[in-house]
Structure 1
Amino acid sequence: MKPLMTDRLILRNFEESDYEDVYEFLSQRKEDDFEAYPDITYENGREHLEYRVHNDEFVAIQLKTTGKIIGNVYFGNRDFESKELGYIVNKDYQRQGYATEAIIEVLKAGFQAGVHRVFAECDPRNICSWKLLESLHFSREAFFRQNVYFKKDANGNPIWQDTYVYCLLNKPQNGKKAVNDGETV
């Protein structure tokens, strides 16, 4: 992927040298209710980095000022010129607009490259996540009951969670501008 730039960020492929930062933001999610990495250790964390290094679907979010990697945007390939959007930001850098800034730039690049539809899923209890999607003009398309799990209970049974599904199309929707026309959402 060709690096993308915003006022505060460099969005680029992951590199081997990003390990400490990647481990930091993933290990913060060991006990996360929404998308946990409960089994991550310092040793096996390298597997998560290797997967990102060799996969263009993961975009590193790097601060221009310090070079620190503070998270990633997932922009996964799906059928019919569609992409799945996901994002993780280091908890020490949340609520500062970094996710919004990164997502807008990734969406612009995707739409300019011909992506037709981008969808994202999130837990209905993750209010910050779905409010972020709505602020970017994503439309809520579905509510799935108990369709996914990231953890199991002490007996090994899945702890099922609900999911909202959101979508943004590469065209104006309901009089709202999409990001493909050079404007921000």
Structure 2
Amino acid sequence: MVFRAHCGGATTKGSSFPRCELREMAPDEVNRADWSTDDKTIHTMTVRVAITATPRKKKHVVCAQIHDADDDLMMVRLEGEKLFIERNEVGEVMMERHYQLGTEFELKIEAGKGHVRVFYNGEEKMNWKVSRDGCYFKAGCYTQSNLKKGDDADSYGEVVISMLQLDEINTEDQ
């Protein structure tokens, strides 16, 4: 699937940047997912993804994130060639210093038992002790630029997802 968000595109409430993303839903496919990082259930999103384009001026794109009830908890973000995990309150975790556009990688994000863990191409890059409620996964293209940042309306970010899988593993008896 190809996700493209033009810098002149529509935005959602609370954001000044355009996006084209999937949002995790509850198993009934009607209600929105809503879980806690403190759950005994391990919530996992595994995605095979390539960031294929960034805006011309501000070359920033987000391809995956965990959002909580109020804001993003963590985002996988590309700025130029720097691919990293952004955490609003804690700081960045580097995944790749010289990412080349179009390079596919596998990303696995696990949340539960009071931790969020991120794996990049099978290697654990982050194990963060954190407690948040109202969480859900998002994947796609969240372009981090707009007309006010100096980009043209037709400039865009683009993300290609070749595989996306969500899993829940109940560890209550373990």
TM category, shorter = under 0.3
Q: Which has the higher contact order (CA 8 A, sep 6+)?
A: 2
TM-score normalised per structure 1: 0.24
TM-score normalised by L of structure 2: 0.25
Larger Rg belongs to: 1
Higher helix share: 1
